[in-house]
Structure formats: structure tokens, C-alpha cells
Amino acid sequence: MPYTPIVATLGYVLSPDRRHVLLIHRNAREDDQHLGKYNGLGGKLERDEDVVAGMRREIHEEAGIECEDMALRGTISWPGFGKQGEDWLGFIFLITRFSGTPYERNPEGALEWVAVDKILDLPLWDGDRQFLPLVFDDDLRGFHGVMPYRDGKMVSWACSRV
């Protein structure tokens, strides 16, 4: 059976001093699969855009800022992650320079600046704890992982760096 995932972007915006990251606290909608969790910004890729354009659009829509410098840190395949078990494929970006002032909130929840070294203390998806250190480390190689989910829980994690 062919792998036909939902393709998405996920971005982590660093503060100018690189000590904080802009996260969304998903606390606005009771029907949100991510309710109560913190996450980066992003979403589904549109049919007519590349992943960089999609990441820029999502950051602008969700935070009201423009990405000026960004780097693709890696990719993750999330088989079974969706509400109905859909597969997702995510392109993970680190945004190191932006212009504008971020919104305080959007329809999904509050936007908060969190110390990079405190991210793992927050309510996150279990799988995020596996790959987030790779987003912020000093290794210039990209990471490429697969993280199957079943019934809303991470089953395993495998990753390569190149």
C-alpha cells in the first residue's frame, strides 16, 4: 500500500537572543486533539506551495510575523498520528530571524516565549520529547525520523542524521 501522508510544516521561532522559543499553548478549543499541549507553529502544506513557502505562510498566519532566516532541521514521519489514524509527514524548521511583533494569541491558543532549556518541562506530545533536542542542538546535520502512533500514543522512534 502506498504511503500517502498529510504533508505539514512545524516551526520553532527563536527570540533574537536565541534563548527563548515561541510556542503555542493549545488552550482555546475543547475539540482540539492537542488541547493543553505546547507545540511549535505550523500546519498542512497547500497544494501549490513548497515546504519553505508553507512554513512562511503558517508562521505569518499563526503568529503575524515574517520569517527572515530559517533552516530545515529535519523530517519526521508520523504514521497513525491523525485523529482517524491518518499518517503525517512533517518538515521541521528552526526560524532564527524574523520581523514583526508576534500575536499574543490566535484561534488555537496563547503564544508564549519559553526558555529553550525549559521546553521539556512543558506538557508536550511524548514524541516531541524525542526530537526537540535535535531541533535545538549544535549538530549541523539534518535528522530524519519515523515515529509511529497508535491510539494517540507514540509506539516507537527511530532516527538517522545526515
Domain ranges of the chain: 6-161
Q: Which pTM value belongs to this model?
A: 0.95
Output the pLDDT for position 91: 98
Given a cut of 90, whether residue 100 has pLDDT beyond it is yes
Half-sphere exposure of 130 (CA within 13 A, CB side): 20
Long-range CB contacts for residues 134-139, cutoff 8 Å, separation at least 24: 134/73, 134/74, 134/159, 134/161, 135/12, 135/73, 135/74, 135/92, 135/94, 136/12, 136/21, 136/94
Given a cut of 90, whether residue 107 has pLDDT beyond it is yes
- Angle at alpha carbon of residue 90, lines to 143 and 30, rounded to 5°: 130
Given a cut of 80, whether residue 2 has pLDDT beyond it is yes
Output the pLDDT for position 31: 82
- The percent of residues in the chain predicted with pLDDT above 90, rounded, is 89
At the topology level, CATH places domain 6-161 in Nucleoside Triphosphate Pyrophosphohydrolase (3.90.79)
Let me know if 56 is exposed, middle or buried by CB neighbors in 10 A (0-12, 13-18, 19+).
Answer: buried
